[in-house]
Amino acid sequence: MNNRAIVELDGICVNYGEVTALENVSLSVFEHDFLGVIGPNGGGKSTLLKVILGLIKPHHGSVFVFGKPPARARSRIGYVSQRSVFDRDFPASVWDVALMGRYDRAGIMRWYRGEDRAEAEKALARVGMLEHRGKQIGRLSGGQQQRVFVARALVSEPELLLLDEPTASIDSTMQSEFYELLEQLKDSLTIVMVSHDIGAVSVHVDKIACLNRELYYHGSRELTPEILEATYQCPVQLIAHGAVPHRVLKEH
Amino acid sequence: MLEVLQYEFMRNALMAGVLAAVACGVIGVYVVVKKVVFISGGIAHASFGGIGLGYFLGINPIIGALFFSLASGLAIGAIITRTRIAADTAIGILWAVGMALGVAFIGLTPGYAPDLMSYLFGSILTVPFSDVLLMLALVAVIIAVVVALYKEYLILSFDEEYAMAVGMPVARLYFLLLAMIALTVVVLIQVVGMILVIALLTFPAAMARQFTHNMKTMMVLSVLFGLLFTLGGLWLSYMLKLPSGATIVLFGGVVLAASLGLSRLRIRYRETRTPA
């Protein structure tokens, strides 16, 4: 059954003071969807993820995640934030960071148990970072760090994975490796990925949503120039390779 | 050297030094990695209001400092989390108001304030046994909280946004951290004085950070460096006939500077040897 709605947003409005971040956004994400959310910077992409996580309460509209208010569904959500702002010298190893994902399962004021360590080991192996478990997190490359953060999201055994610009801080070879990793994960998870990299998104995801305050499009990954132009509010050129758009450039 | 232990004041001083090292070693790691050094400095200075209140009410000034540092820690936390006033402005307000209150209370107290200098600059050699017991109780509370909430504070100091995303009670944990810093300040006032507290909250942790990337190891090393600084400084002050608080801080500063310098040299040496 692929039609169970995991995330249901209905008429969401979010304002930051005078600025409107999201306006009347309605969106459903179904089980085993791999949804890419694209749109310009400041278009409300990160805000959308934070609404799903329950970190931001919308001023209007309703949010249900697994049929519950988002704060009560949190233990079933894995989240990888845009860039973890942390000190490169922070005293934590890859292993420490992966275990952080077990916080919710272990419970407040309790130490990690054997099963928590077993899950951390599994998750690090899954993203190919187990051999680096003893290394300081700040000493890894951006791509390796991102893998560890994905592992941290996976150790809580989530059913929904939210990724906010996961490839923003890593180079292009690392990016294709990262998308391969997501390909492997998408069979067992529902994934919502926010990105400004239209080319990569349209190649790897199954469904696309175009967001610029309002939701301009939501459907299969075949995008037309008209949709992109409406979303970005400026001409965007598509260079098609076969059936899927591969590279998107701004028109000069 | 061991014959000094026959004096009660020396035994109290050693116990106070060890307790101070444990408190500043453990909490100093959070102060340094979470970058709240100047919030801690603000709490320390604001506690002077409590010392003044203690004189005014005729109670132990340390008890007054305990209440004032806790109250100012929570006040700074409330201003930072609930208002739009910037953190450093909040620190400046609490810092100055706390000290001014202290001066005002002392002015209102008839007669003169004995031992005032020892609260400002520390006087490890005159710590009474009752205060050692108070320090022991505070250190026990601090250790219990850190043991119970180690994983929470690791996440919180690493990435606050992630902590919120997984539903941790971030604000409450932040207030509790400020309260622990306030208790640590009270423990350290006896040893180096409120003006120099910031040194013991930063030097041992900054030293330890160079040698490990594991937070638990960093805490253990930081306690050991705290011991080195307090007991080494105490011994030096005895040998050189210098005030103990200032000697502890200067000794720690010299060791830290030397060690940071050596680290830099070591890194540069390694870089020149690595082929480009």
CA distance A10 to B241: 75
Statement: residue B247 has pLDDT above 50: yes
pLDDT band for position A24 (cuts 50, 70, 90): very high
Percent of chain B with pLDDT over 70: 98
Q: Does A90 touch chain B (CB under 8 A)?
A: yes
- Would you state the pLDDT for residue B268? 84
Q: Does A140 touch chain B (CB under 8 A)?
A: no
Hey, which residues 158-197 in chain A have their CB within 8 Å of chain B? Answer: none
Among candidates B225, B229, B215, B195, which has minimal Cα distance to B121?
A: B195
Are the beta carbons of B171 and B81 closer than 8 angstroms? yes
Q: What is the tens place of the pLDDT at every residue in B166-205?
A: 889 999 999 999 999 999 999 999 889 998 899 999 999 9
CA distance B43 to B71: 9
- Would you state the pLDDT for residue A251? 43
Four-CA torsion A87, A92, A98, A104, nearest 10 degrees: -90
Statement: residue A156 has pLDDT above 50: yes
CA nearest A91 in B: which residue? B213
Scored b (16 or more CB within 10 A) or e, B14-43 reads: bbbbbbbbbbbbbbbbbbbbbebbebbbbb
Instruction: Identify the top-confidence range among A27-41, B2-16, B169-183.
Output: B169-183
Percent of chain A with pLDDT over 70: 89
- Would you state the pLDDT for residue B51? 95
CATH topology of domain A5-250: Rossmann fold (3.40.50)
Least CB–CB distance from A90: residue in B158, B162, B217: B158
Mean pLDDT for chain A overall? 84
Statement: residue A152 has pLDDT above 50: yes
Q: Which residues of B touch A92 (CB under 8 A)?
A: 154, 158, 213-215
CA distance A9 to B11: 67
Q: Which residues of B touch A87 (CB under 8 A)?
A: 33, 35
B213·A91 Cβ contact <8 A: yes
CA nearest B208 in A: which residue? A91
- Which is higher by pLDDT, B274 or A190? A190
Give the distance from residue B136's alpha carbon to the nearest chain A alpha carbon, in angstroms: 23
- Would you state the pLDDT for residue A217? 75
CA nearest A138 in B: which residue? B213
Candidate from A11-20, A27-36, A206-215, A227-236 with smallest mean pLDDT? A227-236
Are the beta carbons of B229 and B258 closer than 8 angstroms? no
- Which is higher by pLDDT, B30 or A246? B30
Give the total number of structural domains in chain B. 1
- Would you state the pLDDT for residue A1? 47
DSSP SS3 for A185: helix
Q: Which residues of B touch A112 (CB under 8 A)?
A: 151
Q: What is the tens place of the pLDDT at every residue in B92-113?
A: 999 999 999 999 999 999 888 7
- Would you state the pLDDT for residue A249? 46
- Would you state the pLDDT for residue B1? 60
Give the distance from residue B90's alpha carbon to the nearest chain A alpha carbon, in angstroms: 23
CA distance A34 to B56: 68
Among candidates A130, A149, A176, A12, which has minimal Cα distance to B159?
A: A149
- Which is higher by pLDDT, A204 or B1? A204
Q: Which residues of B touch A104 (CB under 8 A)?
A: 166-167
DSSP assignment of B227-271, as one string?
HHHHHHHHHHHHHHT--HHHHHHHHHHHHHHHHHHHHHHHHHHHH
Scored b (16 or more CB within 10 A) or e, A133-151 reads: bebbbeebeebbbbbbbbb
CA nearest B216 in A: which residue? A91
Token pair in block for residue B39: 């919030």
Q: Which residues of B touch A136 (CB under 8 A)?
A: 213
A108·B157 Cβ contact <8 A: no
- Would you state the pLDDT for residue B102? 95
B161·A86 Cβ contact <8 A: no
Q: Does A112 touch chain B (CB under 8 A)?
A: yes
CA distance B199 to B188: 10
Which range marks the domain in which residue B200 is found? 2-273
Give CB contacts under 8 A, 24+ apart, made by A66-69: A66/A6, A66/A159, A66/A160
Q: What is the tens place of the pLDDT at every residue in A220-235?
A: 777 777 777 777 766 5
Give me the mean pLDDT over the B75-85 stretch: 92
Percent of chain B with pLDDT over 90: 79
Give the distance from residue A135's alpha carbon to the nearest chain B alpha carbon, in angstroms: 8
- Would you state the pLDDT for residue B176? 97
- Which is higher by pLDDT, B151 or B264? B151
Beta carbons within 10 angstroms of residue B269's beta carbon: 9
Q: What is the tens place of the pLDDT at every residue in A240-252?
A: 333 444 444 444 4
- Would you state the pLDDT for residue A87? 85
Q: What is the tens place of the pLDDT at every residue in A112-124?
A: 999 999 999 999 9
- Would you state the pLDDT for residue B153? 96
CA distance A173 to A165: 16
Give me the mean pLDDT over the B147-161 stretch: 94
Q: Which residues of A touch B218 (CB under 8 A)?
A: 91
DSSP SS3 for A31: coil
Candidate from A5-9, A15-19, B143-147 with smallest mean pLDDT? A15-19
- Would you state the pLDDT for residue B200? 95
What's phi and psi for A81, nearest 5 deg?
-80, 170
- Would you state the pLDDT for residue B271? 75
- Would you state the pLDDT for residue A236? 57
Give me the mean pLDDT over the B143-167 stretch: 93
Instruction: Identify the top-confidence range among A82-86, A176-180, B87-91.
Output: B87-91
Half-sphere exposure of B136 (CA within 13 A, CB side): 11
Which value does ipTM take for this structure?
A: 0.88
B215·A96 Cβ contact <8 A: yes
CA nearest B29 in A: which residue? A91
Are the beta carbons of B177 and B153 closer than 8 angstroms? yes
Provide the CA B18 distance to its chain's centre, in angstroms. Answer: 13
Give me the mean pLDDT over the A137-147 stretch: 88
Region of A13 on the Ramachandran plot (φ > 0 left; ψ -120 to 50 alpha; else beta): beta
Alpha helix stretches (DSSP H) within B3-128: 8-33, 37-46, 48-57, 61-82, 87-108, 116-121
Candidate from A34-43, B187-196, B227-236 with smallest mean pLDDT? A34-43
Q: What is the CATH number of the domain that holds B184?
A: 1.10.3470.10
Percent of chain A with pLDDT over 90: 40
- Would you state the pLDDT for residue A40? 83
Statement: residue B276 has pLDDT above 50: no
Q: What is the tens place of the pLDDT at every residue in B34-70?
A: 999 999 999 999 999 999 999 999 999 999 999 999 9
- Would you state the pLDDT for residue A233? 67
